Amino acid sequence: MKLTEFVVADAVITDLQVKTKDAAIRAMVASLKAAGVLSKEAEESIVAAILKREELGSTGIGNGVAVPHTKHPSVDRLVATVAISKGGLDFASLDGDDVYIIFLLVSPPDRPGDHLRALENISRHLRDQTFCKFLRQSATVADVVELLGEVDGQG
């Protein structure tokens, strides 16, 4: 499952301006809606579900990275977006550090395998400091998409 297969290019945010975890999640879900992959009706419910998931434990998993996510019946395939915060934001991360890179995933309830494979792919790249550095330096959506495409090509 390649990054470019589930990361929606039109929803990528290269300069996330918000300062809180809640606002970041709202902005990213709104971006997926604006890109046409989430319905307007489902938006609030998806935000609420992701915030509820965060209450179980932050998806800020260290390395300046967070992976907020939820299952939601309004999608029939896994969709995701990436946001980069240049200044970093408090995500209540497990290591206590600020978060600069956020991958947000919404997956269909009946496809736990896809969710695992997407997490596997994202984690494999996010543990690589060079990838994180390049991602944080991406100035445009085209830069992000090119970088994702490049690492997809590496298998």
Partner 1 sequence: MSTRVTATVTVPGENGLHLVPCSLIAQNATAFSCEIRISKGDRNADARNIFDLMTLAAGQGAQLLLEATGDQANEAVQSLVQLFESGFNGHSHRTHP
CB nearer to partner 1: pick between 43 and 114: 114
**Sequence-distant (≥ 6) Cβ neighbours of residue 31 within 8 angstroms:** 11, 12, 13, 81, 83
The token duo for 136 is 């944080």
Tell whether the torsion through CA atoms of 105, 106, 109 and 114 is positive or negative. negative
Between 33 and 72, whose beta carbon lies closer to partner 1? Answer: 72
Query: Cβ distance 43 to 26 under 8 Å?
Result: no
Contacting residues toward partner 1, per CB under 8 A:
56-59, 61-63, 67, 69, 92-94, 96, 112-113, 115-117, 119-120, 122-124, 126-127
Of 11 and 68, CB closest to partner 1: 68
Distance CA 39, CA 126 (A): 29
Catalytic residue flag (residue 69): yes
Minimum distance between the CB of residue 46 and partner 1, rounded to whole angstroms? 17
Residue 16 phi, psi dihedral angles, 5° rounding: -65, 125
**Cβ nearer to partner 1, comparing 57 with 149:** 57
Task: Please state the closest distance from residue 82 (CB atom) to partner 1, in A.
Answer: 16
> What does the alpha-carbon distance between residue 39 and residue 76 come to, in Å, rounded to a whole number?
12
Write down the catalytic residue from 69, 72, 115, 125. Answer: 69
Question: Which residues are known to be catalytic?
Answer: 69
